[in-house]
Amino acid sequence: MAQDVLCEVINCVHHKQGNRCGASEIYVVSHKGKQADSSQETDCKTFEPGDI
Full 3-state SS string of the chain: CCCCCECCCCCECCEECCCEECCCCCCEEEHHHCCCCCHHHEEECCCCECCC
- pTM above threshold 0.85: no
16 within domain boundaries: yes
Which comes out higher in pLDDT, residue 11 or 3?
11
Question: Residues near 33 by Cβ (< 8 Å), separated by ≥ 6?
Answer: none
Count of domains for the chain: 1
Q: What local confidence, expressed as pLDDT, does residue 41 receive?
A: 94
Check pLDDT > 80 for residue 2. no
35 within domain boundaries: no
Distance (Å, whole) CA 35 – CA 49: 27
15 within domain boundaries: yes
Report percent pLDDT > 70 for the chain: 100
Report percent pLDDT > 90 for the chain: 83
Q: Give bridge partners of residue 28 from the DSSP assignment.
A: 44
For residues 27 and 45, is the Cβ–Cβ distance under 8 A? Answer: yes
